[in-house]
């Protein structure tokens, strides 16, 4: 089932989420829905907070479903390593139409559980490292716009407020 994606400014998107305690049917349904929602958007990553569920779960698929091995599901992820810096243009399904250059690590290692509760550690460089940081941010209630400073941030926030006032957000 495709779930509605919260947009920047909606309260639940900006809240930190809690650890998953039980790997039950409800969690399996959530992961299935998140994958379906991500592919339908289409996007390369989605966090549970973006569909209004305050749990530490994210999915990433840089191939957007083209590579059957491309799907990464992470439950209760933690940082193992982060290093380097990259500066690339980035967007978010919760901020459609907006993008900005965000400072991200160039290499990142994340450890977490898969949807069955098995531990796994995944290393990402370049785009995957960026996706890891982007989705880990969502679990803390942080959207890429919150990582911007000064005029860049103000401009986007003001444009979103204008869209909201016009009922188009
Ligand atoms: Ni996002």
Q: Which two tokens stand for residue 60?
A: 């990433």
Q: Side-chain half-sphere of 4: how many Cα atoms within 13 Å?
A: 7
Distance 21 CA to ligand 1 centre (A): 24
Task: Verify whether residue 135 is a known catalytic residue.
Answer: yes
pLDDT digit of tens for each residue in the chain (169 aa)? 999 999 999 999 999 999 999 999 999 999 999 999 999 999 999 999 999 999 999 999 999 999 989 999 999 999 999 999 999 999 999 999 999 999 999 999 999 999 999 999 999 999 999 999 999 999 999 999 999 999 999 999 999 999 999 999 9
Distance 142 CA to ligand 1 centre (A): 9
Predicted local confidence at residue 120, as pLDDT: 98
Q: Check 83, 90, 135, 140 and give the catalytic one.
A: 135
CA distance 120 to 17: 20
Distance 124 CA to ligand 1 centre (A): 17
Segment 37-44 long-range contacts (CB within 8 Å, at least 24 positions apart): 37/2, 37/3, 37/5, 38/64, 38/93, 39/64, 39/65, 40/2, 41/5, 41/93, 43/93, 44/127, 44/131
Q: Are 87 and 35 in contact (CB under 8 A)?
A: no
Distance 26 CA to ligand 1 centre (A): 23
Predicted local confidence at residue 146, as pLDDT: 97
Distance 93 CA to ligand 1 centre (A): 5
Predicted local confidence at residue 28, as pLDDT: 98
Domains and CATH numbers, the chain: 11-165 (3.90.45.10)
Predicted local confidence at residue 121, as pLDDT: 98
| pLDDT per position as a tens digit, 102-125 | 999 999 999 999 999 999 999 999
Predicted local confidence at residue 104, as pLDDT: 97
């Amino acid at each position: 089932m495709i779930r509605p994606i919260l947009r920047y400014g909606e309260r639940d998107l900006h809240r930190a989420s809690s650890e998953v305690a039980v790997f039950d049917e409800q969690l399996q349904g959530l992961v299935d829905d998140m994958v379906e929602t991500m592919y339908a958007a289409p996007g390369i990553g989605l966090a549970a907070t973006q569909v209004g569920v305050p749990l530490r779960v994210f999915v990433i698929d840089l191939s957007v479903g083209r590579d059957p091995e491309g799907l990464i599901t992470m439950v209760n992820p933690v940082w193992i390593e982060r290093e380097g810096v990259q500066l690339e243009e980035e967007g978010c399904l919760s901020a459609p139409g907006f993008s900005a250059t965000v400072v991200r690590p160039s290499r990142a290692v994340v450890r977490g559980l898969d949807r069955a509760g098995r531990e796994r550690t995944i290393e990402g460089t370049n785009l995957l490292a960026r996706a890891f940081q982007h989705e880990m941010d969502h679990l803390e209630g942080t959207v890429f716009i919150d990582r911007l400073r000064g005029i860049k941030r103000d401009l986007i926030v003001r444009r979103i407020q204008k869209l909201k006032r016009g009922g188009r957000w």
